[in-house]
Amino acid sequence: MSLDEGHAHVVTFGRMHPILANFGRGLGDVVFPPICVQCRGMVSSDGEFRHVCAKCAAQFDYVRPPHCSTCGHPFYGIVEGERMCPHCEGLSAAFREGRTAVLLKGPGRGLVHELKYHRGLHVLADIEEIFRRVPHVLELARDATLVPVPLHPRKQRERGYNQSEMIAECLARAAGRKTIVSPLLRRVVDTVSQTHHDRRMRQSNLKNAFALVPGAVINAAQHYLLVDDVFTTGSTLNSCALALRRAGCLNLDVITFGHG
């Protein structure tokens, strides 16, 4: 193909059919069409989300207080005194508090799956938009140093990125001010084959799975926040918390995008 032909091809691409151009928020929508992660329908360009249609967006289950102070799962109805949370009882948390943005179902689950399993970096704008809608999460994150839960290097090479780091970047942008992302931890044990083990076995294998990256320094006066995509048993987050505590971190909370 000559240079001229190549140029002509680009021009043709730019002059797409007017109907197609109307979906448009530029080239990004051609590469990643605005398809709803939940119902696979087209998402209109004047909606609040790029990859969740208006009908599905109404199904987001945002977490509002009151919620469990360890894992962030909402308590429904009237809360009287301390309450055991079925999602995290038995977890002796090495962090102070945990908060979460949405329940991991419907479109909330769709966004996480798109990001983790379909190379869906294009849904990050929607994840940031969700964070902007949960004041109790933003308030905890503001001015903190966000530490993403690391993937094992092998896993990160496979996926091409660490979804928790991407989510932490979204949260930092939404929280603003002096909130920063600092990948201080690395995963030293590959725990990929452990999903078949029971909880106690996983916890004991995870105990030393994380360490500080070489040269990282913890400032005992700083507020640190571990960030992960989802809260499930809390054992991975807790192992990360232990690694940070061992390194001298005193002021440590946890935020996850989804819970379930």
Which residues form the interface with Zn ion (CB under 5 A)? 36, 38-39, 53, 56, 68, 70-71, 73, 85, 87-88
CB-nearer residue toward Zn ion: 60 or 210:
60
Shortest CB 178 distance to Zn ion, Å: 29
CB-nearer residue toward Zn ion: 36 or 147:
36
C-alpha pair distances (Å), 18 with each of 15, 27, 45, 85: 8, 14, 15, 54
- Bridge partner list, 224: 145, 252
- Bridge partner list, 156: none
Shortest CB 17 distance to Zn ion, Å: 24
Shortest CB 41 distance to Zn ion, Å: 5
Shortest CB 39 distance to Zn ion, Å: 3
DSSP code, position 121? G
Name the residue among 113, 147, 132 with its Cα closest to residue 242.
147
- Bridge partner list, 62: 102
CB-nearer residue toward Zn ion: 71 or 172:
71
Residue 63 and residue 134 in contact, taking contact as beta carbons nearer than 8 Å: yes
CB-nearer residue toward Zn ion: 56 or 167:
56
The token pair at 181 is: 């992302």
